[in-house]
Chains A and B, each alone.
Chain A
Amino acid sequence: MIAPDPDTPLLAVRDLRKSVPGGRVLFDGLDLDLRAGDFVAVTGESGVGKSTLLNLIAGLDQADCGSIRLDGDELGGLDEDQGARLRRERIGFVFQAFHVLPHLTLAQNVALPLILQRQGQAASLQRARAMMAEVGLGGRDADYPAQLSGGELQRVAIARALVHRPALILADEPTGNLDPETAGRIMELLTRQVRSAGAAAILVTHSAAAASAADRSLTLTRHGLTGADAA
């Protein structure tokens, strides 16, 4: 578990600018500080660059200028392989479309980040089973995704995002494919798991209900993030 350090920002984003091909500027001068244990929701109109911001923070996209530091490491200087290793070890993802592999059992899906870190099959699966129990899927480790509902699949995705104890969770519309009742339960689960792991989390969403689960809710505009407690 990551020990929260209230004084040092886990994620420090400074003066970030991103434009799309054609020259349209998505945002400019964006700043964001995130400490361990912070849970921030980012909302905004469609096309404003919410998912792009997540991708920049994950090292999957390059900013025009500005800096992103995760635990003190500047992401802009990382090559593709270093970026991949960073994501493998320190970031967890939750997607709108779940993206679980249909040919792996639920436990194998959850254990994937650990297996990629070569932590050993047996130990990885043991940890995955424990994680599944925490998200309410205990005893179903040998099932396959084809047998699960959408809400259950998102639980698997949340377990996979947290199984390797990442410092930062990036969740892109995690309730976008779910009905309101299931979405509420998933947000509750995600919040609880993020907090118990002591990780920081950024949730990109259109849903006011989902955003309300976060500690802070920020709105992304062309001029950066606005809202309560923005850095």
Chain B
Amino acid sequence: MMRGEWRAYPARAVLAGLAIAVGVALGFAVHLINASALNEFASAISAVNGEADLQVRAAGPNGFEEALYPRLARTPGVAHVSPVVEIAAHAHNGASVRLIGLDVLRAAAVTPALLGQRAGAMGGDPFDSQGVFLSPTALAATGARLGEPLVLAAGVRQVGFVVRGVLAAAPQGQSLAVADIAQVQWRFARLGTLDRVDLRIDQGADPRDVAARVAGMLPASAQVVTQQAQARRSDALSRAYRVNLDMLALMALMTGGFLVYSAQSLAVSRRRPQFALLRVLGVERSALLRLVVAEAAIVGTLGALAGLALGAGLAEAALRVFGGDLGGGYFSGERPRLALTPGPALIFLALGIAAALLGGLLPAREAGRAAPAVALKNLGDAVDPNRRPAVDLALTLLLAGAAAAMAPAVRGLPVFGYLSIALMLAGGVAATPWLARGLLGPLQGRAGRAPVIDLALKRLWGAPSQAGVALCSIVASTSLVVAMAVMVASFRGSVDEWLLQVLPADIYMRVEGASFEPAAQARIAAVPGVAHAAFLGQTSLRLAPDRPEVALIGQTIDPRAPGRTLPMIGESQAVPKGVTPVWVSEPAQWIYGYRPGQQITLPIGHRAGGEPLFVAGVWRDYARQHGAVALTSDDYTRLTGDAGRTGASIELAPGASADRVIGALKALVPAAGRDGLTIARPSVLRAAALATFDRSFAVTYLLEAVAVLVGLAGVAAALSAQTLARTKEFGMLRHIGVLRRQIIGMLATEGALLGLIGVIAGASLGLVMSQVLIHVVNPQSFHWTMQTRVPWGLLAGFAAALIACAAATALVAGRRAVSRDAVQAVREDW
């Protein structure tokens, strides 16, 4: 029977399989790209860190005291220790290089991968203090040559080295330089401090015990980092973004599942008399159920297998063309290799089959339930308009979805937020027949309409469950698109508004790999046409071993009115006398639980237990997902010891020419140092920020577009199948004098009405789901909130296009249906 069905209607089986294949392919491809990029990223981190079992890392920018190093070496369970200093430097041509200062003898026992290979012909002293070893990427980026001098600069200091060899083990894309630790400490003014100590533990010692022992002896300025914490930190950097993309890709698969449901429902409806005959001949209900489920399983398996192959191909192509970054900016600049492992492939195969099985389950139950006597009467599609569409299941699912939205995040991920969306989606689709009847009810019985329009209305009102079958995939995809569109519009609008708040000055300057020291700041402020110059310093703090760094920002803030320079959320607290106020960003508040009025400690300053600070308020920040803490410029200098600044905002004097001032500012910096310098007007920065925003959402638009295409394919398949199943009806109508074009008009009207109902259902559901995305998924994933903005124009255009597509699809199907001989149509029995 299965073969007969597929032979008779091969296109429908292929379309259903294709929908699953597309869903699996997208999900698998997104997963593979992210996994490959993450692998590459992790190996890059591991290259910088060497192969240490444990690390002690500085929490703040000032490092920790070198005196800790011998104490660590004496800790029971620790076999070897290797002290490290890390400097973010740049070469004369502006190329960024991470300079690592090592004790060669110590590092050989702990992190041998960080040791360089001396170039064969150069020989000489292995303890050469001027020597530096470069990774192949750093060699290429700086343009340095073996045996030749290389100047590396950090802050105001410039240090000359001689390139002695290469770091053969450094991966492609990592710009590293390794030099003698004493030389780096001395020449970069870091004497007496370290950034990290790598530890190798005794064989047989439990790393957790050793980590606990080490943690117990550390000051606030240092943390112990296990390999697991390091892995969690790497993962946490982009985890929320990756999970969100995976979820979005799975939505395409879910839409594919609805298409299978649609195809199977129609097949069951068409074969009702066949099933009735089988039942009459003694076939059990369960056997019919198994038959329909088996059909869905075969479609799902074949589709999912094809999807895995397609997904791997897509991922490989995307990695070659775009690298590992899908727009989020987490993995830019890398060209990872495809990380193909059987585990995820099996999971996506199972998901594809599960989607198809779920899609086939309800129609299978329907097939088993049909009363043979009624079906054998050949009453067409057994429509009974007296049967009211059930709404209980839909309400239950929607309420369960609303309840799930209230639940907190699970391990930093909005698991229940996604569950809420899935439940609402299922509830919304289940409610479509009820909604169709509710919407069409008031239109019934209106006089003065063309008969064919009246027939179309009555048909849809009388057979709402068929409308539900035809609409399920489009309701699913429309709601997802509307939800995403509202969320993205809200996010973009909020970011735009935020940019206007944080960019109030006339000109902005930023420097990378260097800083504006006080003398340079004075020169900038003195440029003719500059009315006022404010400076911003930034460094990073590691507040938890398994979390990415938090930005520490020093800028001009008036503690009595912080809203002048920070986009505050809510009121700022009055700052008590004698305390140092800080203003935390919204993500920092979410991640670390900071509350206004709270006393916190950060690993900055010179106190043993860290610096006590007063949280005076919370500000909105869309730029730093992992959190930021702002403090006044004076406090920043006092606590970090760094008077240099990396950014400046310039207010022009009345009548001053911005172009002239920009020219004068550029002239302050020697030509060789301009590579890392950016001077721009706020409009340019705003446009660049929004372009970055749009780029990061480009892949989501692509995934949405695919979901809509799958949804439209669902409508096309369902309308086409339903229309062909009604050829007898059209034949009768033509016998009693209805013109072909009237029948086509009736079907186009039905299509347009179905599209309209689908759009209303999908848009309503999408608006509700967008609130879950805005108020649950986004804050739980990315820790920022936003105001809802509905892109009415975009949604109206989308709705009109969708309704037109549905009408056109029905029109095409109608033309095919009425092209059949009316005489044959009414004579045709199954």
Contact = CB atoms under 8 A, between A and B. Distances in A.
Interface stretch (A40-48, A53-61, A188-196, A222-230): A53-61
B380 A102 contact: yes
A126 interface: no
Given A97-B829, A116-B451, A120-B447, A55 B823 contact: yes
Nearest to A61: B823
5 contacts: A80-B740, A87-B736, A102-B384, A103-B459, A150-B377
A99 B454 CA distance: 19
Interface of B: 374, 377-386, 445, 447, 451, 454-455, 458-459, 461-463, 728-729, 731-732, 734-740, 822-823, 826-827, 829
B463 A103 contact: yes
Contact of B382 (A84, A102, A160): A102
Interface in A137-168: 144-147, 150, 160
Contacts of B732: 93, 95, 99, 101
Given A61-B823, A97-B826, A99-B826, A116 B737 contact: yes
Nearest to B734: A84
A201 to B, nearest CB: 15
B826 to A, nearest CB: 6
Interface of A: 51, 55, 58, 60-61, 80-81, 84-89, 91, 93, 95, 97, 99, 101-104, 108, 112-113, 115-116, 118, 120-122, 144-147, 150, 160
Nearest to B729: A101
Contact of B386 (A88, A115, A144): A144
Nearest to A58: B735
Nearest to A103: B462
Contacts of A95: 732, 735, 826
A95 B828 CA distance: 12
A97 B826 CA distance: 8
Given A122-B447, A146-B383, A60 B454 contact: no
Contacts of B381: 102
A160 B732 CA distance: 12
A84 B739 CA distance: 6
A99 B379 CA distance: 8
B383 A102 contact: yes
A142 B385 CA distance: 11
A85 B458 contact: no
A63 B458 CA distance: 37
Contact of A112 (B379, B734, B736): B736
A84 B737 contact: yes
Given A99-B728, A102-B379, A84 B738 contact: yes
A84 to B, nearest CB: 5
A113 B385 CA distance: 21
B451 A115 contact: yes
A108 B382 contact: no
A55 B735 CA distance: 9
Nearest to B445: A121
A93 B826 CA distance: 11
Contacts of B384: 102, 144, 146-147
A116 B738 CA distance: 7
Contacts of A101: 455, 459, 729, 732
B732 to A, nearest CB: 4
Nearest to A51: B827
Nearest to B463: A103
A148 to B, nearest CB: 9
Nearest to A60: B823
Nearest to A88: B737
B736 A88 contact: yes
A52 to B, nearest CB: 8
Given A88-B737, A91-B737, A101-B729, 11 more contacts: A51-B827, A95-B732, A99-B826, A101-B455, A102-B381, A103-B462, A115-B454, A116-B738, A144-B384, A146-B383, A150-B377
